[in-house]
Amino acid sequence: MKHNFFIAENFDVKHMKRKHFTGLVLLTVILYMLFSCTKIVNIELPTTKPKPVVFSLIENKHTVKLYFNNSYNILDYVDSNHLYSDKADIKCYLNGQYQENLYYKEGYFYTLNTSPNPGDTIAVIVSPENGQQQLFAETVIPSKISIDTIVFTDSVFHDQDETYYSSIQLSFNDPAGRKNFYEIYIRAKCLCDETVEYESVMGYHSDDPVITSEGIITPFGSTGNADFYDTEPVSVIFSDSLFSGENVLLNIAFMRPCEYVTGQYQPCKFALSVYLSNVTKEYYLYRKTLYKHLISQESNLWSGYVEPIQMYSNIKGGLGVFAGYTCDSATVNPN
């Protein structure tokens, strides 16, 4: 019996060594094939002619701010001091009537003394000083939509990393007879010891079809794109396609704020400022394509590649966005 056991044991050891050796040979062959197939290829990216860029998001009864410059090639180094330019003549029209020229202020944006009201049509004609063609853009400031109710619920679930999520239920009335677009944004006021800090909440989630149908916000309990905080949507954008002319109640979850205000785990009291914006179609399309564009930049071999997203623009003759919105807000004190 001892002899038979010794033979069996010796056979198993030899068999294991043979399998181990075979595995090493296969691994060596695979590594050799991978590295032997590697080839450095120099790709010459075509240079593109710079295009003028205009950017302005206009809130009702607020001063108009407009940013202007030219586009850059993807490999160009751009100094932060040269992101904005004053090399343009910009005329503003309100409801079809010329108002005044925008003037350059504080080294990086153009501004206007006139503040538009809901229902106003505001347009600009931009004439670059370098002889480029004129640019034209316009938008209509939407009416204000008021928040009806907000209900806060703390720690509704946690993910696999033990990160806790809170939620709000928000309701409002959608005006009938027209297509409406919305944005919800939440900001936290964190009270830790003698420190008061403000931060935007992160990790939006929702199970509501109104929100998930936009293809940006992930459902409750999913990690979504949580590893890439630079590309996380900082707001919830949606249209009234599923509730036109009705009173709507939306449930939105987000990472419990103020957990790491001092750089380490230190849960503290907080208050929430909840903003509901009625936005123009141009604003909605810009935000939606921006979020999808940022998320697509994080695609790779392991997570899967996605098609590049073409950024939305409503600037005739150039690039950028010129859009308006009207905002209502409410404060929630969970403590």
Task: Return the sign of the alpha-carbon dihedral for residues 27, 33, 36, 39.
Answer: negative
| pLDDT tens, N- to C-terminus, the chain (335 residues) | 434 433 333 434 344 444 455 556 566 666 666 555 566 777 676 677 888 999 999 998 898 999 999 888 777 777 776 788 899 999 999 999 999 999 998 778 999 888 899 999 999 999 998 888 899 999 999 999 999 999 999 888 877 777 888 999 999 999 998 999 999 999 999 887 777 888 889 889 999 999 999 988 888 766 554 444 456 788 999 999 999 999 999 999 998 888 776 666 677 888 999 999 999 999 999 999 998 888 777 666 555 566 778 889 999 999 999 999 999 999 998 86
Architecture label for domain 52-140: Sandwich (2.60)
Euclidean distance between CA atoms 186 and 329, whole angstroms? 9
Structure tokens at 249: 């109640």
Is residue 309 left, alpha or beta, with left meaning phi > 0 and alpha meaning psi from -120 to 50?
beta
Tokens 């003549």 correspond to: 89
Q: Give pLDDT, residue 83.
A: 80
Euclidean distance between CA atoms 184 and 210, whole angstroms? 13
Euclidean distance between CA atoms 230 and 200, whole angstroms? 12
Q: What is the pTM of this model?
A: 0.80
Task: Return the sign of the alpha-carbon dihedral for residues 237, 240, 242, 246.
Answer: positive
Q: Give pLDDT, residue 264.
A: 65
